[in-house]
Structures are given as structure tokens and as C-alpha cells.
Amino acid sequence: MESLNIINKILEPTHAVSLANFFIILSMAAIGIGETIYLIKKRLAVEPPICVIGYECRKVLESEYSSILGVHNDTLGLSFYIMVAALDILLALGINPKNIIDLLLEIIIVSGTITSAALLYLQWRVIRAWCFWCVVSAATVFVMLAVIIFGNLI
């Protein structure tokens, strides 16, 4: 009986998504999608990306840490941002089961935050170089995390 109550709780519709939260997360995902597409295009063209601040982007992007399990970080990032945008849109449209979609969005954002923090650490302590694009990407993910943590205050 208790397991049935838990299932019903998971499947019941949640509160409406705050319009501000929706736009903040979607905006961060759009920035991330644009950034990762730019990096993928540069990588495939075998051209260095423009390093807006500093000059160490290439060192980071060509390091042994530029891929995870053989998949380039820019490709993983693009997948992450597309999933976040899709789930955010589903929540805003009120697609059920909202609780599951909301939980998936939170899990993906927390996972992205952990990955971003690890990659920032590698830049700082291991590679000893900073990539502007990587830092911007991490910042967008950290903003998303802030929205899911403090979003009820907006």
C-alpha cells in the first residue's frame, strides 16, 4: 500500500514552473548550445577557437582531459545542454509526469555541475591553464544549479 502511495506521489502534477526559472535555465542552455557548437565546428575544422580572454584555450582543449571515455567534452556538453533545454521546455508546457521530468532535470544539472567542477579543477591544478570557453560553460551550469536550489525564491 505504501509503495502505491509513493508511485501516486511521483506521478501527480507538480507546481507550475516559474516563468523566470524557465527562462533562466533555457537561456543558459542556449548559451551552452551555441558555445559547444562553436567548439565542435572549430575542432572538426582543425582550427583553434578564438580565446576571448587569455591564450590558453588550445592547451586545455587539446589536453588528455578533453574527452571522457573517448567522447569529446564539447560533444558531451552539447548533449547536456540539449537535454536540459528539452526537459525545461517539457516542464514549462506542463507535460506529465512533471515530478519525474523535474527530477531528471535536477539530476542532469547536478551531474553537469559535478563534471564542470572537476574540469575546472583539472584546468587549475593539473593542466595549469584556463580555457575561456570552458569557464563560461561551467558558469552557465552553476547558474542552472542556483536556479534549481534557490528557484522557489524567484
pLDDT tens by residue, 1-48: 565 554 444 444 444 458 899 999 999 999 999 999 999 999 999 999
3-state secondary structure of 9: helix
The Cβ-side half-sphere exposure at 45, using a 13 Å CA radius, reads: 9
Rounded CA separation 113/30 (Å): 17
pTM to 2 decimals? 0.86
Rounded CA separation 121/64 (Å): 14
**CATH number assigned to the domain with residue range 19-46+53-153, chosen from the 4 options 3.30.310.50, 1.20.1440.130, 1.10.275.10, 3.40.718.10:** 1.20.1440.130
Rounded CA separation 74/79 (Å): 9
10: how many CB neighbours lie within 10 A of its CB?
12
pLDDT tens by residue, 109-118: 999 999 999 9
